[in-house]
Structure 1
Amino acid sequence: MNDRPNLTIPHEGYVVVCDGRKALVLRNAGHPLRPDLQVQRVLEAPPNPPTHLQGTDRPPRVRLGDRRSAIAQTDWHALAERQFADAVAQALGAIDPLAALVVVAPPRALAELRQALPERLRQVIVAEIDKDLTKHPVDEIRRHLHAV
Structure 2
Amino acid sequence: MKLPKGALVAVVDGEKLALFENTGQQEVQLSARPTPTIAERASGAAGRISSEANPDNDTQAEDGFAMGVAEVLNKWVLNNKVDHLMVIAAPKTLGQLRKGWHKETQAKLVGEIAKDLTGHSTDQIAAAIEKA
Verify the 8 A CA contact 2:38 2:72 in the aligned structure 1: no
Please state which structure has a larger fraction of its residues in helix.
2
Query: 2:65 matched to 1:116?
Result: no
SS at match of 2:35: strand
What's the CA shift for 1:20? 0.5
The 5 Å alignment of 1:44-63 reads none
Q: Which runs of 4+ in 1 moved over 3 A?
A: 42-46
Query: Which of 35, 45, 51 in structure 1 is aligned with 2:28?
Result: 35
Counterparts in 2 of 1:138 and 1:44: CA distance versus 1, 3 Å: farther
Question: In the alignment, which residue of structure 2 is the partner of 1:75?
Answer: 56
Structure 1 alignment gaps of length 5 or more: 1-6, 47-71
8 Å Cα contact 2:11-2:118 kept in structure 1? yes
Alpha carbons 1:101, 1:127 under 8 Å: kept: yes
Residue 29 of structure 2 aligns with an amino acid whose one-letter code is D
Rg (Cα) greater in structure: 1
Which residue number corresponds to residue 73 of structure 2?
Answer: 92
Residue 45 of structure 1, CA deviation: 7.2
Which residue of structure 2 aligns with residue 147 of structure 1? 131
Gaps of 5+ in 2: 40-52
TM-aligned CA deviation for residue 126 of structure 1: 1.3
Q: Which residue of 1 aligns with 2:44?
A: none
The TM-score with structure 2 as length reference comes to 0.77
Counterpart residue number, 1:131: 115
- What aligned pairs does 1:18-29 form with structure 2 within 5 A after superposition? 18-29=12-23
Post-superposition shift, 1:41?
2.8
C-alpha displacement of 1:74: 5.0
Q: Are residues 133 and 44 of structure 1, via their aligned partners in 2, closer, same or farther at CA, if it must alter by over 3 Å?
A: farther
Q: How many residues align?
A: 117
